[in-house]
Structure 1
Amino acid sequence: MTHIVSIRNLTKAFGTHEVIRNCTISVNEGEIYGFLGANGAGKTTVLKLIAGLLNPTSGRIEVCGMEHPGNREAILRNIGSLIEVPAFYEHLSATENLEIHLAYMGIQKADIEGTLNRVGLPGTSAQPVSQFSLGMRQRLGIARTIIHKPRLLLLDEPINGLDPMGIRDMRELFSSLAHEDGMTLMISSHILGEIEHIANTVGVIVDGAVVKEVAMDSIKKNYPEGLEDYFFTVMRGREAQ
């Protein structure tokens, strides 16, 4: 199976503090990869490294068959990312914000209205983002990640600010993006139940290194109580070492 993300022996230090240590990750093309870990474990830093927002201290990152950091622009054209709180031009409309993103990506034609409908924002194309609720901003952030039809989506806590209906909508959207659009999704989330619903593979990061990468089918087979049981078993095992 082709790896769309391949990370080997990755280290990232800020000054003398190593936040990512000898980290290795493999994400298969076309899958939904659930990326789990405690606060401060390094999830967001890894996603930023994959997106090219940070440069590694050492190690190897390959995305869509291209190595970071030498192919940053080509890689950016193939990924969509929602990392931390999405920022927009507040006085501009949803459509205008997406048009700016498309211009930055060098894309002249895209279905903006259709994309807004797909993320649950029908009829909002002319509305200033300053009038958007937190949940609407999150939906617009997701629209921005998919508008240019990337091969890889990097989503950091993508259901923050969404109500239960919105969470269900995004669950269905993410599954559709993988199974119908052929996108690969790498999703960091604290909401284990949502990852359990949609992920094909789960990776657990502890203290800057991925300690487990396991197929969801294997987790369901060996942990009848589900992903939460598996996750806390892994965490307890690491604490005991």
Structure 2
Amino acid sequence: MLWEVWRMEWWAESSMDALQLLALEVWSDTSNEGLLVTDPAGRIWLINSRLREWFRLPIIPHTVDSLLRFTEATMPELGPLATMPDRPGGVQWGNVRIQQYPPQRLVWQQIPLFEGERVAGSLVIFRDATTQGQLELAKQSFLSMISHDLRTPLSTILGFAELLYNNRSELSQEEQSEFLEHIIKNANELSRYTQIALDIMYLEADKQEFEVESVFLDRFVRHWLSDAKHRLSAD
């Protein structure tokens, strides 16, 4: 009976190990990150398809030295990978520029792998910094545009409000109504752009918490219709 229990436990552990290895293999081949696994002797145990594509390797090298020889012309900055961290928490990081057309910059992070207290190898994760830089530039451009679009209606509102306040006794009823129309129009524009900016901030914060509460439906509908009526009349 004890033998049967031990055999079942061994089979379960072996199956789980095999499943984990299979999952790791599938993930490494479908990941957008480049992965490199080496041992203390400098042998390469895993180099996934994304990294081979970025490095443009004609064959799969078996050692770190071979990898450095293949890439010394296009990535001379890759040398620190030959030094393996030897303590827990001894993470190394850096970046390399692939000298090709179009140029590409990768950031990498080298993490030591331990089996008990013994260094078993290292995992190096590469990420495409070029795409991140382009996204950051697009974000900055969009924020600059939003900033400009927020300032424009605000300046218009302040300008017409000051004119109306300082010259209200001299302005005709028609002129005052025209000024108020400009103020309301630009206030609506300002509200719209502010809502866009707030929505973006909310999405970047990645908040997905919702508060559920009871509402009086008739009061909610009346409030919504009143707000919609004012917006339609303003437009």
Greater fraction of residues in helix: 2
TM-score (normalizing by structure 1): 0.21
Bigger Rg over Cα? 2
Say which structure, 1 or 2, has more relative contact order (CA 8 Å, 6+ apart): 1
Greater strand proportion: 1
